[in-house]
Structure 1
Amino acid sequence: MTRFSRSLYVSIAVAATSIAHAQTTATLSGVVKDPQGALIPNATVTVHSNATGAERSVTSGNSGEYVLPSLQPGEYTVTVAAAGFATFKVEKFVLQVDQKADLPVQLSVGAEGVTVQVEGGGAPVIDAGSMTVGQVIDKTTVQEIPLNGRHFLDLTVLTPGGVTAPANGNLTAPSRGVGAFSFLTAGNRDDSVNFQINGINLNDISNAQIVFQPSINTTSEVKINNSTPSAEYGRNSGSVTNVSTRSGDNQFHGEVFEYVRNNSFDARNFFNPRGQAQVPLKRHNFGASVGGPIWRNKTFFFASYEALRQHQGLSVNTIVLTDAQRAGVTDPISLQLMQFIPESPGGVYTGFINGPVNIDQGTMDILHIFNQNDTLHGFYAFQEDIRTEPTTQGNTLPGFGDHRPGYRQIATINETHVFSPSLINEFRLGANRVNVSFISNFTQGASSFGMNNFPAGVTPAAGIPQTSISTTGINIGGPSGFPSGRIDTLGALSDALTYTHGKHSVKFGGEYRRYLNANFSQDAGTLSFGPSAALTTTGGATVTPARTAIQNFQLGRATGFSITPQPNTSRVFGNALGAFVQDTWKVTPNLTIEAGFRFEWFGTPTLGAGKATIFNPADQTLNPVGAPGYKDLYSQNYNYMPRLGFTYDPFGSGNTVLRGGYSIAADQPLSGLVTTLSANPPYTNRVSYTATASGTFTQGSSTYLPTIPLSALYASAAATAISVGSVQNNYKNGTVQSYNLNLQQALPMNMALSVGYYGSVGRHLRQSLNVNQISPTTSARNFTKISASSPISPNASLNTNVTQASSIGQSNYNAMWLNVRKNMARGFQVNATYQLSKSLDLGSGTGTQFTDSTRPYLNYGPSDFDTRHRISGNAVYQLPFKGNRLVKGYQISGILQWQTGNPLNITTTSTFTGTSGVQHPTLLQAVQYRKDYVYSGTSPTVRWFASGGSDANPGGSVCTSVTSGCTFYTPSTGFGTMGRNALVGPGFANFDLSLAKNTKIVERVAFQLKVDMFDLFNHPSFGNPGTTAQSGATFGVITATRFPIGDLGSSRQLQISGKLTF
């Protein structure tokens, strides 16, 4: 840790990497009027922080307008005084993170010194001051609603535009213990979210995922901006997520807590076979926090520690060797490998493999108020985590897989200086760093088993090759491609000024960003045992007999082996500069116009030490990137992003607001755009050996490759056709244009209704194409080898496919969002949303495979995460019981989610080969969805389609010729006509309920006992069915719930917690 921490401090000192200047502070504005509605200039507006005692004042302008920017989120007392009028006072007025709050003031005639107390404390339910569409998730919601896994990103599904991710999500599929790494909202990709904590970026540069999830107990508020952000936001084209952490104040406060989950509390998963033990789970989440004054009204601190200790079993059901098959093993190396294959009666191994997760996270927050004009805020957080995945890459037996240690840190420094009430400066410096490794659990070297014939140039990773035996479920060793890891270091230096003059409040600023991404990988190889046919001479004599896969294993004869011979490393770095200006113009007391412009220069990602080569499809050459005489990797460096919007109060009451906006935002290119170029020759090339299935032996012939003994694996492997990667010559950064028009109406009981249209269009989104795809008519490829004139690897044979990073992606999103919200008042708060939406794109992520790369437009269809209808809601209700400690203090809270299914992409195992992408069948008749789709047994199975087939052969609806009664036809040549994501999978429904009892022990000390019930009604939310159209028992069959090993949608689960607060 010492060296790791030192590296972070150094990176801050040199102004390391990347943020987008963020507005985690709040702005209070309004207009001061007299009882007849006349505007009052020169009124003194003062805000007083109830937490820290800090004060700021401003004088209203000629039109009665006032603006107080750059206020810390929290509770304030607001007073307004003017000569000849009584003083206006609002207590407990709450400003939330990234909020532009509007507080209209109407003064009463009265003597100076007389104060008129005005009701209206709490946070405003109407957002009358900003074109940005977003929602704040307040402290009560964050702390009190039931969150399975206690991951703050799960809060994002409660906001308009948010959807529960599909089971096959990229960054959104939850990982055991640590949750998801991003979320989906408003039709944007999961790698387009801009995460901010206290105004500093929390994305990594490799995947644009969140570096780590801040503790729920450290989080004060979360603001998600889903549409038309202001010009101060950049870096990404999607939603902006601002996390405000808890700070100290003038009173000491803290808490100690523990949350416990155990499989003995839980219902059985729908697919857990009857008679088999439940999947083991032991989870303890515990920690403590404390905050308060160091120097009253001057210096405050808040510190926290949280830990997770989780042991979870992963179910395995694997065909292994029978006793007779084990007795037939004679090869000495195979005998040693066999010790890792458990003995099991009947040749089937069932059980659970433990996958522990340990997390330790700590934070420290310091706030110092030098005087009313200067405030300094510092924040530091670290997390150490280690997650074991025993079934990585298909490992099916105990003792293998990998473990993933991670070290994550973020540090921020913010300084706010008030030059005058009309000129305020905000300075920020920060960095984040993540160091993640993927290390094989099994590290005993292959040489200790007799596989030690390493030729020059081959340096395998520790461990044995990842080994599989076909016709069984045996998969041990490896994992292939491990160990691997990366270190991302990001940081930023930024400054912004807010200048208020008359009806204008102008904010402008700039930033410098820099990042460094270092990667490494090594390979233990892959080893396979398959069947081999008889080898005969031209005269018909048998040279070697036919053998099954198991017989080849018994004799130590492999049919396939491949390995990347040398470790591969890369270092990617880049710079970025940004500048913005945003003008908020209060044209009239009822109309505000916001106009902004952002410019960002995204430097092209550069590989350190010149370690990059790129394939040029135009002339089939492999060229060094940036070397003398060769151009640098092209990218679109200049990005221009206008923002324009308005808010209009048609009645001047502050109860009705019409809002609209338009914005353009761009994505900073990720390091992965060029990382693959470091794996091009001459830096790495995989070697392999694959036995020919059968053949006729001719002396001296090299056309037939027999099985090879295990002792000769490495010596037999030889270089194959090289694999190369490329980047589109005119590659552009992805952009998203977002726009909306919506209406907000205040309702009785501190409620608000919002309804509106929201849309976006994405262009130049990153996709991957195969630029060497086979022609479906001629079976020819564009090129089969590197050009003879290539400076690198001339005349080398090319692998069949050549992947090119391209910016051809497009997306389109249209939606109606309807939201009802009530802030906490009289012990009750609620937030409920209905949304009707449609999201279309060419591909929902950079890894989307195209059926036909020569006609990518055929891929246009529903997004992987497209959700047509969704209802979500959350509520907290403090029961109004009165009496002694046993009667009062009860609380109910809950979360409801329901949505229609995500698209299904039906693919086929067509015999037409030569494409790197998926192939689709041809749809012969409409697909019928099965209504009585559940049939039970020892292990239940769910059929999703009713079209053809049978319970024993659900794939009976698939034909290889156009036949009456068939639904899916798989052509032997060419492409099928069924579109991408043409069908719909199961929907999602979930209701979580929490019951809590808050008991006051003594003054300022209380204890909360809470029971969280996740998926209260034990309603299984199914995952997607098998989508490969083929005859057999898997097509259209569902075998798991939506997130079977995550924290959502698997079965009813109970969590018990206790929290002592003071």
Structure 2
Amino acid sequence: MNTRTRALALSSFVIAGSAAGYAQSTATLSGNVTDPAGAVVPQAQINVHGLATGVDRVVISDAAGNYSVPSLQPGNYSVTVHAAGFADYRVQSITLQVDQNVTSNAKLGLAATGEVVQVQGATPIIDAQTITVGQVIDQKTVQEIPLNGRHFLDLTNLTPGTVVPPVTGSLTSASRGLGANSFNTAGQREDSVNFMINGINLNDLTQNQITFQPSINTTSEFKILNSTYSAEYGRSSGAVVNVATRSGTNQFHGEAFDYLRNNYFDARNYFNRKPQQQNQFIRNNFGGAFSGPLWKDRTFFFLSYEGLRQQQSLPLTSGVLNTTQRNTLAANTTIPGYAGLLQFIPAPPATASATGQATVTGAAPGPVKTDQFSGDLFHTISQQDNVHAYYAWQQDARTEPNLQGNTIAGFGDHRTAHRQIGTVNEVHIFSPNVVNEARLGFNRIAIAFSPNTPENPASFGIQNGVAFNNALPQISISDIGLNFGGPSGFPQGRFVTTGVFSDTLSINRGKNTIRAGGEYRRAIVDSYSQTAGTMNFDTANNFVQGLVNSFSVTPQQVVSRVFANAVGAFVTDNYKVTPRFNAEIGFRYEWNGTPTEGGNRLVNFLAATDTLTPVSQPYTQNYNYEPRVGFIYDVFGNQQTVLRGGYGIMADQPVTGVAANLAGNPPNAAPVSFAAATVAGVKQYAAANTQFTSAGLSGLSPAAVNPLLTNAYTESYNLNLQQQLGAGVVMDLGFIGSEGKHLRLTRNINQFLYPNGITATGVRPFAHLATTSPERPGSAVGAINMIDSDSLSNYNALWFTMRKALQHGLQINATYTWSKSQDENSLGSQGGASLQDNNNPRGDYALSDFDSRNHFVFSGTWNLPFHGSRLVDGWLLANITQLQTGNPLNVVTTSAFDGDSATGTIRPTLLGMPQVGHKALLTNGNVSYIANPAGSVCATVTTGCVFYAPAAGFGTLRRNAFTGPGFADSDISLEKTTKIYEQTALVLRVDAFDALNHTNFNNPNLTATTSATSTFGQITATRTATGDAGSSRQLQFAMRFEF
């Protein structure tokens, strides 16, 4: 019996449901009404009144005295319960958070004329209603916790199970000025997170990353669900991030703010030592908001703008031509225009030898600019209908001058983007116990990557075969370490639009609350890419003469228009078995349609027939069955000790790149290349102005998708105990586990096989395409990187959380996670063929790249208890401190056993035990981490050798065998609010990021080589670049005017 069949069988034996359902971007209030003797009171009227908006919702308790009010906007409410013959019962204030189910029971007293029982509101701090494991990041935390860069996704680290991302991450690595595009939590890959704003998807399906981060200023609160959540959620197998935006109230409010940073106030980066000039970093983050009523008690608005202007210099070090070589290049008339390349290459230092090797250091500007506008509108149409709309638009531009390893200024790329999201939610109340919520929305990104220096290669005598040139080829000179031009693969861009419609119906009947609904998504992805090619010169002397060692280019522009449709449907039945025990069952069906291409440009390599064949669909398995079951047990019936457990299956929607990659196969694109051959001891170079003519069609390395590809899914399970320790303090201890199945994996299915041993001639499984191939019949075939679904993962963890709700001005959250995550590949859609032995994926099963055994985070805000004059009133202190052990280190060699020059995947053999973790400053300014004395890396087994790196063969060292440097960071903010008038205030604030100036080191160089000048095992940079979290102590000054 397979996993999914077992899950379906299990679900059929679980009693249905929990006390009440919950909506994705709203909240639910539920409870029970009883008389003084504890008997239930049916037909009681419950009025829920929005304190900030004046909006009322009225429901009637059922025959069991139960009531439920779903689809409420997060905020503060009063609750009044009225029943004939009893005194009115009133809760003055209760707080509802996003995606939360709050219980408020009412015990009525006997009637007396005009009597009202007043109860001071106290929001329950333990959720005794749902199986969901997650955490709400409330508005005070969002607005007050110090955040380096003011990106809300950084607050995901406050959630148990979330780790500081590894330096090897792709989507989790912060983009300068824009923040990260995802995060790792609960053992899940970075491309498995579902981001939502007001219930509408905010993912860019090309990579399944967040389209953009909404401004902190517009974020009311958000919830992170990272284990065993409701069947209402689909699309992704990892976490769900649910953002609720700020709405207006019956009072007009406004604010204007400005946050300033300057490297003048910052500590130097560890590797930016004197007398080097301190790297420039100037950041100005400014904006404002205005909100209020358009129609009192009915219509409210919230408008916001936020801008960013960041100036940053990125350090560069490069070898350059010496004086003699510069003179030779200037005199080159053999290739007309070729001497013009001299204008891009810095002159050597005045003290450098005219004939020796010269090195220069410098910096290149990397500016970042963003502007984000948003508007939120909430309108009560009638007592039965309300509508909530939100729209945000962002424009951003960023320059990356050292992209692809450029070593001199003026190159890299400039990227511009326009990003949007629009959401409309409509709640209709058919009756007090039947509520429908419909959502309609879209998100869109249009992004273009362009060469920073648009130049026509023909103007410099360079022949690259591209019809429409706007960039030099990426030029590298091996012997002096000079790299400039390009970037190769640019320009490129994409235009992605995702439309979403969903609907959820909630029915409250006695002890059951039934929720059923569905969602339809459609993504359209238009993309293009072009390249100017790459050129390599083995020596500077050959470069100045225009003698090319190797050259490659794909002269055609690759375009695609990909469509992806998805449909999901779910039903949950929540049942209160006893007043203390809830059981919950749900089922979700998802059909994730195969991405298709509008121009019939998909060409797949089919291993079964050894052909390149046009296809309409690269695979056809699209359906997913996802049961979710669990229980909640209120041990003593007082909502102070709660035990919960759950199990669920969650599936991923494949990214559109699965199909788009196939549009780059012949006949749509035909790469050509040249490599200088040696004939009779003489190397036969090509001239820069005839290299394309000298080149021939490259051996095919087609992209491929396994026709049997299936949707990845995760089985998640947990057992969790919550205990209230006192007023406002709760402890949470849980075991969390998951198993990933059919995870995406890219592997080279044409890796050389050596049936007679590695000293014999290797044999490819597919040496040539079959003569019956529709495209390029009989052509020689090299590497074939195929997207497959043959990978797996495993995660087990203990999560401990201690929370103190805001009381007396103090709010604290502390979490500790002990975890172990294992897989075969950690990057999913962001990683290429990274296996050592592509025919044995299980050989790479080891600790995940993002595994960290221990992670602790503390956060808190404290309104200091100073009272008196304006000078001593209004002080606030906030802190976030993180401690984490290191991520795994994967040592590789420069060997290319697979015969495809695919270095970076073959590991060495470990002959001794290296010294790992001892940090010592070396004379070259680097820091030793893996001890690398002379002879520690060898090509033959010798005495004293630790890493044996043979020229051929698989090493026996396991993947991710060592542990890298840990992470420790403490950010502190101090804020002073001074009241000017009753409704106006001036707020002054200073943030100290990495306040203790603790150096967080990057991973060391992990490529083992026998070179005497190798930096293997050495750390050359901090974990993040200057200006980002943990790079060095940085100060930020802010001013905010509130009215």
Q: TM-score of the superposition, structure 1-length normalised?
A: 0.92
Instruction: Determine if the alignment matches structure 1 residue 1026 to structure 2 residue 1005.
Output: yes
Task: For 1:300-449, list aligned pairs within 5 A.
Answer: 300-329=300-329, 330-332=331-333, 333-345=337-349, 346=352, 347-449=358-460
8 Å contact from structure 1 (residues 904, 1027) kept in 2:
yes
Secondary structure of the structure 2 residue equivalent to 1:791 = coil
Deviations 1:1006-1029 (A, max 9, x none): 111000000000001111011112
Paired AA for residue 606 in structure 2: N
Give me the whole-angstrom Cα distance separating, in 2, the residues matched to 1:930 and 1:358. Answer: 39
Task: For 1:210-229, list aligned pairs within 5 A.
Answer: 210-229=210-229
Q: 1:645 to 1:454 in 2, by over 3 A?
A: closer
Q: 1:454 to 1:738 in 2, by over 3 A?
A: closer
Paired AA for residue 886 in structure 1: L
Tell me the residue number matched to 2:772: 789
Paired AA for residue 921 in structure 1: P
Range moving further from structure 2, 434-443 or 914-923: 914-923
Instruction: Determine if the alignment matches structure 1 residue 997 to structure 2 residue 1001.
Output: no
Tell me the residue number matched to 2:811: 829
Paired AA for residue 680 in structure 2: T
Range moving further from structure 2, 681-690 or 959-968: 959-968
Task: For 1:265-284, list aligned pairs within 5 A.
Answer: 265-284=265-284
Deviations 1:286-327 (A, max 9, x none): 001000001111111110000000010100111111222212
8 Å contact from structure 2 (residues 860, 879) kept in 1:
yes
Give me the whole-angstrom Cα distance separating, in 2, the residues matched to 1:687 and 1:1056. Answer: 54
Paired AA for residue 403 in structure 1: H
Cα distance, 1:936 vs structure 2: 5.9
Secondary structure of the structure 1 residue equivalent to 2:1025 = coil
Secondary structure of the structure 2 residue equivalent to 1:370 = strand
Q: 1:865 to 1:911 in 2, by over 3 A?
A: closer
- Which residue, out of 655, 659, 674, partners 1:689? 674
Tell me the residue number matched to 2:1022: 1041
Q: 1:756 to 1:275 in 2, by over 3 A?
A: same
Deviations 1:801-849 (A, max 9, x none): 1010000110110000000111211101010001110001111122151
Task: For 1:681-760, list aligned pairs within 5 A.
Answer: 681-692=666-677, 694-696=678-680, 706-760=684-738
Give me the whole-angstrom Cα distance separating, in 1, the residues matched to 2:637 and 2:381. Answer: 40
Cα distance, 1:454 vs structure 2: 6.8
Give me the whole-angstrom Cα distance separating, in 2, the residues matched to 1:341 and 1:644. Answer: 64
Paired AA for residue 824 in structure 1: L
Secondary structure of the structure 2 residue equivalent to 1:109 = coil
RMSD: 1.6
8 Å contact from structure 2 (residues 464, 533) kept in 1:
no
Deviations 1:213-240 (A, max 9, x none): 0000010001000111101100101100
Q: 1:926 to 1:31 in 2, by over 3 A?
A: farther
Cα distance, 1:460 vs structure 2: 4.7
Instruction: Determine if the alignment matches structure 1 residue 805 to structure 2 residue 787.
Output: yes
Q: Which runs of 4+ in 1 moved over 4 A?
A: none
8 Å contact from structure 1 (residues 613, 624) kept in 2:
yes
Instruction: Determine if the alignment matches structure 1 residue 656 to structure 2 residue 641.
Output: yes
- Which residue, out of 570, 575, 580, partners 1:580? 570
Tell me the residue number matched to 1:102: 103
Instruction: Determine if the alignment matches structure 1 residue 600 to structure 2 residue 590.
Output: yes
- Which residue, out of 864, 871, 874, partners 2:859? 874
Tell me the residue number matched to 1:768: 746
Tell me the residue number matched to 1:859: 844
Secondary structure of the structure 2 residue equivalent to 1:324 = helix
8 Å contact from structure 2 (residues 751, 898) kept in 1:
no
Q: 1:350 to 1:22 in 2, by over 3 A?
A: farther
Q: 1:379 to 1:51 in 2, by over 3 A?
A: same
Paired AA for residue 472 in structure 1: I
Paired AA for residue 1042 in structure 2: T
Task: For 1:448-467, list aligned pairs within 5 A.
Answer: 448-451=459-462, 458-467=466-475
Q: 1:842 to 1:491 in 2, by over 3 A?
A: same
Deviations 1:221-267 (A, max 9, x none): 01000111101100101100000110111000011000000000100
Give me the whole-angstrom Cα distance separating, in 1, the residues matched to 2:497 and 2:896. Answer: 46
Deviations 1:165-189 (A, max 9, x none): 0111110001100010001111011
8 Å contact from structure 1 (residues 125, 821) kept in 2:
no
Tell me the residue number matched to 1:81: 82
Instruction: Determine if the alignment matches structure 1 residue 194 to structure 2 residue 175.
Output: no
Deviations 1:646-701 (A, max 9, x none): 11111111111111111101001110111110011111021111112x3218xxxx
Cα distance, 1:705 vs structure 2: 6.7
Tell me the residue number matched to 2:12: none
Paired AA for residue 95 in structure 2: V
8 Å contact from structure 2 (residues 50, 75) kept in 1:
yes
Give me the whole-angstrom Cα distance separating, in 2, the residues matched to 1:159 and 1:113. Answer: 47
Cα distance, 1:356 vs structure 2: 0.2
Tell me the residue number matched to 1:980: 959
8 Å contact from structure 1 (residues 83, 112) kept in 2:
no
Cα distance, 1:706 vs structure 2: 1.6
Q: 1:940 to 1:38 in 2, by over 3 A?
A: farther
Tell me the residue number matched to 1:926: 913
Cα distance, 1:560 vs structure 2: 1.6
Tell me the residue number matched to 1:818: 800
Secondary structure of the structure 2 residue equivalent to 1:153 = helix
Q: 1:46 to 1:325 in 2, by over 3 A?
A: same
Tell me the residue number matched to 1:59: 60
Cα distance, 1:717 vs structure 2: 2.5
Secondary structure of the structure 2 residue equivalent to 1:339 = helix
- Structure 2 gap ranges (5+): 1-21, 353-357
Give me the whole-angstrom Cα distance separating, in 2, the residues matched to 1:1046 and 1:604. Answer: 41
Paired AA for residue 588 in structure 2: R
- Count the aligned residue pairs: 999
Cα distance, 1:43 vs structure 2: 2.3
Instruction: Determine if the alignment matches structure 1 residue 479 to structure 2 residue 479.
Output: no
Give me the whole-angstrom Cα distance separating, in 2, the residues matched to 1:506 and 1:397. Answer: 63
Cα distance, 1:897 vs structure 2: 0.2
8 Å contact from structure 1 (residues 460, 522) kept in 2:
no
Deviations 1:732-754 (A, max 9, x none): 00000111010111121311110
- Which residue, out of 657, 664, 669, partners 1:672? 657
Deviations 1:712-742 (A, max 9, x none): 1332222121221111121100000111010
Paired AA for residue 115 in structure 1: V
Instruction: Determine if the alignment matches structure 1 residue 886 to structure 2 residue 871.
Output: yes
8 Å contact from structure 1 (residues 921, 976) kept in 2:
yes
8 Å contact from structure 2 (residues 98, 136) kept in 1:
yes
Secondary structure of the structure 2 residue equivalent to 1:1012 = strand
Q: TM-score of the superposition, structure 2-length normalised?
A: 0.94
Tell me the residue number matched to 2:1033: 1052
Q: 1:832 to 1:48 in 2, by over 3 A?
A: same
8 Å contact from structure 1 (residues 85, 112) kept in 2:
no
Cα distance, 1:892 vs structure 2: 0.4
Between the two proteins, what is the percent identity of the paired residues?
A: 51
- Structure 1 gap ranges (5+): 1-20, 531-548, 627-631, 698-703
Range moving further from structure 2, 458-467 or 244-253: 458-467
Paired AA for residue 1025 in structure 2: P
Tell me the residue number matched to 1:534: none
Tell me the residue number matched to 2:559: 569
Secondary structure of the structure 1 residue equivalent to 2:210 = coil
Give me the whole-angstrom Cα distance separating, in 1, the residues matched to 2:800 and 2:487. Answer: 48
8 Å contact from structure 1 (residues 320, 342) kept in 2:
yes
Q: 1:924 to 1:565 in 2, by over 3 A?
A: same
8 Å contact from structure 1 (residues 425, 496) kept in 2:
yes
Task: For 1:126-205, list aligned pairs within 5 A.
Answer: 126-205=126-205
Deviations 1:556-615 (A, max 9, x none): 222222111111101110211111111111111111111111111111100111111111
